[in-house]
With several copies, the nearest count.
Chain A
Amino acid sequence: MNAGTKEPLLQPTLRFHVPEPKARPGHAPDFSNLVLPVAGAAPRPPVNASAYDTRDLAGDLIRVLNDDGEAVGPWRPDIAVDVLLRGLRHMMLTRVFDERMLLSQRQGKTSFYMQCTGEEAVAVGQASALDSADMLFPTYRQQGLLIARDWSIVDMMCQVFSNSHDRMKGRQLPVMYSSRDANFFSLSGNLGTQFSQAVGWAMASAYKRDRRIAVTWIGDGATAEGDFHYAMTSAAVYQAPVVLNVVNNQWAISSYQGIAGGEEATFATRGVGYGIPALRVDGNDFLAVHAVTRWAAERARANLGPTLIELVTYRAAPHSTSDDPSKYRPADESSCWPLGDPIERLKKHLMHIGAWTEGEHTALREEVAEQVRTAAKEAESYGTLGQGPKHDPATMFEDVFREMPWHLRQQLEELGT
Chain B
Amino acid sequence: MATMNMAQALNSAMDTMLARDPDVLIFGEDVGYFGGVFRCTTGLQQKHGADRVFDTPVAEGGILAMAVGMGAYGLRPVAEIQFADYIYPAMDQLVSEAARLRYRSGGEFWAPLTVRAPCGGGIFGGQTHSQSPEALFTHVCGLKTVIPSNPYDAKGLLISAIEDDDPVIFFEPKRLYNGPFDGHHERPVQPWAKHPASDVPEGYYNVPLGKAAVIREGSAATVLAYGTMVHVALAAVEETGIDAEVIDLRTLLPLDIDTIVESVNKTGRCVIVHEATRTSGFGAELCALVQEHCFFKLEAKIERVTGWDTPYPLAFEWDYFPGPRRVAKALQRVMEP
Judge A-B direct contact (beta carbons within 8 Å). yes
Asked if residues A396 and B65 are in contact (CB atoms below 8 Å), the reply is no
Known: A202-B69, A204-B74, A385-B315. A172 touches B109 (CB 8 A): no
- Chain B min CB distance to A219 (Å): 8
Taking the complex as formed, is B218 at the interface, i.e. its CB lies under 8 A from any CB of chain A? no
- Chain B min CB distance to A331 (Å): 15
Residues of A within 8 A of B126 (CB): 112, 171-173, 176, 189
User: Can you list, as one digit per residue, whether each of A220-250 has a CB less than 8 Å from chain B (1) or not (0)?
Assistant: 0110111101110110010000000000000
14 new A-B contacts at CB < 8 Å, known A200-B65, A230-B59: A20-B50, A176-B104, A190-B97, A197-B68, A197-B69, A200-B73, A205-B73, A226-B89, A230-B66, A234-B56, A322-B37, A391-B316, A396-B319, A405-B253
Chain B residue with minimal CB distance to A206?
B51
Taking the complex as formed, is B101 at the interface, i.e. its CB lies under 8 A from any CB of chain A? yes
Residues of A within 8 A of B97 (CB): 188, 190, 193, 197
Taking the complex as formed, is A10 at the interface, i.e. its CB lies under 8 A from any CB of chain B? no
Chain B residue with minimal CB distance to A216?
B69
User: Can you list, as one digit per residue, whether each of B74-117 has a CB less than 8 Å from chain A (1) or not (0)?
Assistant: 11010000000110110011001100111111111110100000
Taking the complex as formed, is B314 at the interface, i.e. its CB lies under 8 A from any CB of chain A? yes
Asked if residues B309 and A407 are in contact (CB atoms below 8 Å), the reply is yes
Taking the complex as formed, is A3 at the interface, i.e. its CB lies under 8 A from any CB of chain B? yes
Asked if residues B108 and A178 are in contact (CB atoms below 8 Å), the reply is yes
Asked if residues B92 and A190 are in contact (CB atoms below 8 Å), the reply is yes
27 CB-based A-B contacts, threshold 8 Å: A2-B109, A111-B124, A135-B73, A167-B108, A172-B104, A172-B126, A176-B126, A178-B109, A186-B109, A188-B104, A189-B128, A190-B96, A192-B58, A196-B61, A196-B69, A230-B62, A233-B62, A255-B58, A261-B57, A322-B37, A327-B35, A385-B315, A396-B319, A399-B102, A399-B103, A401-B102, A402-B110
- Rounded to whole angstroms, the CA-CA distance of A227 and B311 in the bound complex is 22
Partner of A18, one of B55, B65, B100, B309: B55
Taking the complex as formed, is B212 at the interface, i.e. its CB lies under 8 A from any CB of chain A? no
Known: A170-B314, A193-B97, A199-B69. A226 touches B102 (CB 8 A): no
- Rounded to whole angstroms, the CA-CA distance of A328 and B30 in the bound complex is 10
- Rounded to whole angstroms, the CA-CA distance of A353 and B36 in the bound complex is 48
Taking the complex as formed, is A365 at the interface, i.e. its CB lies under 8 A from any CB of chain B? no
User: Can you list, as one digit per residue, whether each of A294-322 has a CB less than 8 Å from chain B (1) or not (0)?
Assistant: 00000000000000000000000000001
User: How many A residues face the partner with a CB closer than 8 A?
Assistant: 88
Taking the complex as formed, is B54 at the interface, i.e. its CB lies under 8 A from any CB of chain A? yes
- Rounded to whole angstroms, the CA-CA distance of A202 and B69 in the bound complex is 8
Residues of A within 8 A of B33 (CB): 20, 24, 254, 328
Residues of A within 8 A of B110 (CB): 2, 402
- Chain A min CB distance to B109 (Å): 5
Taking the complex as formed, is B175 at the interface, i.e. its CB lies under 8 A from any CB of chain A? no
User: How many B residues face the partner with a CB closer than 8 A?
Assistant: 83
Taking the complex as formed, is A266 at the interface, i.e. its CB lies under 8 A from any CB of chain B? no
> Which 9 A-B pairs rank lowest in CB-CB distance, beginning with the nearest?
A200-B69, A189-B128, A170-B315, A230-B62, A196-B65, A224-B57, A173-B126, A254-B34, A204-B73
User: Can you list, as one digit per residue, whether each of A12-26 has a CB less than 8 Å from chain B (1) or not (0)?
Assistant: 000010101000100
Partner of B29, one of A205, A255, A400: A255
Asked if residues B30 and A254 are in contact (CB atoms below 8 Å), the reply is yes
Residue numbers of A with Cβ under 8 A of B are: 1-3, 16, 18, 20, 24, 111-112, 135, 137, 162, 166-174, 176, 178-180, 185-186, 188-193, 196-205, 207-208, 214, 221-222, 224-227, 229-231, 233-234, 237, 252-255, 259-261, 322-323, 327-328, 385, 390-391, 393, 396-402, 405-408, 411, 414-415, 417
Chain A residue with minimal CB distance to B59?
A224
Known: A18-B55, A207-B51, A259-B57. A171 touches B313 (CB 8 A): yes
- Chain B min CB distance to A149 (Å): 15
Number of residue pairs across A and B with beta carbons under 8 Å? 290
Asked if residues A407 and B89 are in contact (CB atoms below 8 Å), the reply is no
Residues of A within 8 A of B104 (CB): 168, 171-172, 176, 178, 186, 188
Residues of B within 8 A of A327 (CB): 34-35
- Chain B min CB distance to A329 (Å): 10
Chain A residue with minimal CB distance to B71?
A2
Asked if residues A328 and B315 are in contact (CB atoms below 8 Å), the reply is no
Asked if residues B57 and A227 are in contact (CB atoms below 8 Å), the reply is no
- Rounded to whole angstroms, the CA-CA distance of A178 and B278 in the bound complex is 28
Partner of A193, one of B51, B93, B313: B93
Asked if residues B320 and A396 are in contact (CB atoms below 8 Å), the reply is yes
Residues of A within 8 A of B129 (CB): 173, 189
- Chain B min CB distance to A138 (Å): 13
- Rounded to whole angstroms, the CA-CA distance of A399 and B77 in the bound complex is 20
Asked if residues A415 and B314 are in contact (CB atoms below 8 Å), the reply is no
- Rounded to whole angstroms, the CA-CA distance of A210 and B230 in the bound complex is 46
- Chain A min CB distance to B124 (Å): 4
Q: Which of A18, A393, A411 has the largest number of chain B CB atoms within 10 A?
A: A18
Asked if residues B313 and A170 are in contact (CB atoms below 8 Å), the reply is yes
User: Can you list, as one digit per residue, whether each of B131-164 has a CB less than 8 Å from chain A (1) or not (0)?
Assistant: 0000000000110100000000000000000001
Asked if residues A199 and B65 are in contact (CB atoms below 8 Å), the reply is yes
Asked if residues B67 and A200 are in contact (CB atoms below 8 Å), the reply is yes
Residues of A within 8 A of B124 (CB): 111-112, 385
Residues of A within 8 A of B127 (CB): 171-173, 189
Taking the complex as formed, is B255 at the interface, i.e. its CB lies under 8 A from any CB of chain A? yes
- Rounded to whole angstroms, the CA-CA distance of A407 and B260 in the bound complex is 14
Chain B residue with minimal CB distance to A162?
B315
Residues of B within 8 A of A254 (CB): 30, 33-34, 55
